[in-house]
Amino acid sequence: LALILDFGSQYTQLIARRARELGIYCEIVPCHTPLDDIRSAAPQALVLSGGPASVYTPDAPRCDAGIFTLGIPILGICYGLQTMAVEFGGTVEPSTRREFGSAQLRHIGTSQLFDGLPESFDVWMSHGDHVTTPPPGFTVTAHTADALGALEDPSRRLYGLQFHPEVVHTPLGRDILRNFFIGIAGMRADWNMQSFVESAVADIRARIGPNRAVCGLSGGVDSAVAAALVAEAIGDRLTCLFVDNGLLRQGEFDEVLTMLRDKMDLNVRGIAAGERFLTALAGVEDPEAKRKVIGRVFVEVFQEEAAKLGQVDFLVQGTLYPDVIESVSVKGPSAVIKTHHNVGGLPETLHLKLIEPLRELFKDEVRAIGRHLGLPPELLNRHPFPGPGLAVRIIGEVTPARVALLQRADAIVTEEVRAAGLYDDIWQVFAVLLPVRSVGVMGDERTYEHVCAIRAVTSEDGMTADWVRLPYDVLHRISRRIIGEVRGINRVTYDISSKPPATIEWE
Ligand code: XMP
């Protein structure tokens, strides 16, 4: 086990992710974790993360200095290096200018951290302070043009990097971390999905004990994988609720329900509440107002259904790391997190304790766990779908007729993209129903009907996106079929906007 002491860096999770990729099991704990707790966890290595603070301010976060006498290897990264330097009598001062971005690092001497690496390579810097005098006993092992790059005292097994080896902009960072965990700390690279699942299941079992849990499924990957892990731990004491809000894709409610029940063997209740949502949405045009209405009705429906279950103490959510806005560990457990869009507001109103087994993971890791658990590929490879569903793809008022129209157009889009073998290369592809009507001619008759837009994007994480250069013949088939088969749409356009400045969804 390696422990990562979190000083609040936006990159802390990435350190954990890189360690996992190397087959190293690690856990993230707050920087102020008491020495006794650290000792009883018996870690083989410690990493001190970066952080936004300055070490010389009075309230700068510190770790228990006792960790430095445990005799286990410690790697300080950025702020982690600086706090270690100050602890041992070095000095840290503000730089005249912030060093931010790529820099050339040159290493000197024979540090084991840089074993097998070229003498000079690119690293990612992001700091305002720097070490001006290394502490006694430490040697500087690398530098950039502007600052000290690394220092160490191998006799006390203490190492520090001013740059961030965990980000992709330090291409050789993985080798450095490997040198630390495996070369210096002598850890074994035996961590994998199987071990993740085993330890997650054991944790969940211990936390829930003999009690029961409820999980709201959205039909997407995250909630399904979270539910599968919890079901592995407590079996039928987990009840899953899958709400049909009337805004799902064509046939989706039944398909997903069957898949969750028959292929995943989950204890799931389907709740057909479409009418209730659509009634509440009548007359609502503003996108944010629609989201609020949907969120509110969802909470009502969920609450009513959960109440029917009797005593339930835990709520399972498929929150992923990118959903966690702030580093919770430094600010304390009350720090604000973005509750899962789909079940926003539930924890407070239901007084349930949260179980979030995917909280430290990234989407691709969640898919890998899902594969490992044997979840059906058609579920794992599904495109992300917004909680408010088709409501944010029907511009203006949502009516049952418009939902039906969009469902049919959208089904054609998906069918054709799948048939062309492109579905798995695309982040999201869908149709949007516009409130605009345009004139057309069908046979000898004039038509005056809806316009539908097609949107297809590639993306890594939904934060940025590029529109997909769909082949013309695929676009042609989509357009011909929608106009031919969906009465009420007589024109199809293709959205060629990237994010930013556009967003993926139209609302
Ligand atoms: P945007 O439109 O902001 O979308 O570029 C980024 C990603 O988030 C999804 N999205 C939502 N998901 N509730 C959700 O659960 C929402 O209200 C919502 N709005 C957007 C969107 O589909 C894309 O994957």
Q: Using one digit for the tens of pLDDT, what is the confidence trace for 98-149?
A: 778 899 999 998 999 999 999 999 999 988 899 999 999 999 999 998 889 9
**What tokens does 160 get?**
């520090």
Position 454 scores a pLDDT of 98
* Opening angle at CA 357, ends 324 and 64, nearest 5: 70
The identity of residue 389, as a single letter, is G
Cα 244 to averaged position of ligand 1 atoms, centre (Å)? 18
Q: Is 287 in the pocket of ligand 1 (CB under 6 A)?
A: no
- Length of the chain in residues, anyone? 507
Task: State residue 351's pLDDT score.
Answer: 82
**Is 78 labeled as catalytic in the residue annotation?**
yes
Set 99, 152, 166, 416: catalytic member: 166
Amino acid 350: pLDDT: 72
Indicate if ligand 1 lies below 6 Å from the C-beta of 384.
yes
**Is the minimum distance from the CB of 342 to ligand 1 under 6 angstroms?**
yes
Active-site entry in 26, 31, 78, 215: 78
Are 494 and 475 in contact by the 8 Å Cβ rule? The answer is yes
Of all protein residues, the one whose alpha carbon is nearest to atom 20 of ligand 1 is 386
CA angle 45, 51, 56 (to 5 degrees): 105
Selecting among 164, 340, 383, 450, the annotated active-site residue is: 164
**267-288 b/e with 16+ CB inside 10 Å = b?**
ebbbbebbebbbebbeebeebe
Q: Is the pLDDT of residue 250 over 70?
A: yes
Confidence of residue 462 (pLDDT cuts 50, 70, 90): confident
pLDDT of residue 1: 92
Residue 335 above 80 pLDDT?
no
Res. 444 pLDDT band, cuts 50 70 90: confident
Q: Distance, CA 241 to ligand 1 centroid (Å)? A: 21
Average of per-residue pLDDT across 316-330: 65
Residue 166 known to be catalytic: yes
Read off the pLDDT of residues 145-198 as tens digits, 9 standing for 90 and up: 888 999 999 999 999 999 999 998 899 999 999 999 999 999 999 988 888 999
pLDDT at position 324, please? 62
Best residue among 217, 341, 458 to mutate for probing ligand 1's pocket (most ligand atoms within 8 Å of CB) is 341
330 pLDDT tier (thresholds 50, 70, 90): very low
DSSP for 250-289? Answer: TTHHHHHHHIIIIIT---EEEEE-HHHHHHHHTT---HHH
CA dihedral (480, 481, 484, 488) in degrees, to 10, reads -110
CA of 464 to the centre of ligand 1 (A): 12
Q: Whose CA is nearest to atom 14 of ligand 1?
A: 386
Position 334 pLDDT exceeds 70: no
pLDDT tens column, 58-80: 889 999 999 999 999 999 999 99
The DSSP secondary structure of 140-164, one letter per residue, reads EEEE-SSSEEEEEEGGGTEEEESS-
- The rounded mean pLDDT for the chain is 91
Closest residue by Cα to atom 22, ligand 1, is 386
CA gap 44, 182 in Å, rounded: 10
Distance 321 CA to ligand 1 centre (A): 16
Report how far ligand 1's centroid is from the alpha carbon of 386 (Å).
5
Average pLDDT over residues 364-380: 91
| Range in 21-35, 158-172, 346-360 with the lowest mean pLDDT | 346-360
Write the pLDDT tens digit of every residue in 190-247: 988 888 999 999 999 999 999 999 999 988 899 999 999 999 999 999 999 999 999 9
Per-residue pLDDT reduced to its tens digit, 378-429: 899 899 999 899 999 999 999 999 999 999 999 999 999 999 999 999 999 9
The interface predicted TM-score (ipTM) is 0.98
Quickly list DSSP for 413-464. HHHHHHHTT-GGG-SEEEEEEEEEEEEEEETTEEEEEEEEEEEEEE-SSSSS
pLDDT at 333 over 70: no
pLDDT digits (tens, 9 = 90+) for 482-493: 999 999 999 999
Annotated binding site for ATP: 218-224
At residue 336, does pLDDT exceed 60? no
Q: Whose CA is nearest to atom 21 of ligand 1?
A: 386
Ligand 1 site, residue 428, Cβ cutoff 6 A: yes
Counting Cα atoms < 13 Å in the Cβ hemisphere of 30 gives 12
Confidence of residue 346 (pLDDT cuts 50, 70, 90): low
User: How far apart are the CA of 323 and the centre of ligand 1, in A?
Assistant: 12
Atom number of ligand 1 nearest to Cα 463: 6
Known binding-site residues equal 218-224
Mean pLDDT, range 304-317, rounded to an integer? 92
- What pLDDT was estimated at residue 432? 98
Active site residue 372: no
**Binning pLDDT at 50, 70 and 90, where does residue 332 land?**
very low
Q: Is 383 close to ligand 1, i.e. is its CB under 6 Å away?
A: no
Given a cut of 50, whether residue 13 has pLDDT beyond it is: yes
- 346 vs 275, residue with greater confidence: 275
Higher pLDDT, 340 or 506: 506
Question: Ligand 1: which residue has its CA nearest to atom 7?
Answer: 462
Residue type (1 letter), 279? T
Which domains are present in the chain?
2-184 (3.40.50.880), 193-380 (3.40.50.620), 399-494 (3.30.300.10)
Q: What is the pLDDT of residue 345?
A: 53
Going by pLDDT thresholds of 50, 70 and 90, the confidence category of residue 327 is very low
Q: Look at residue 340 in the predicted model and tell me its pLDDT.
A: 36
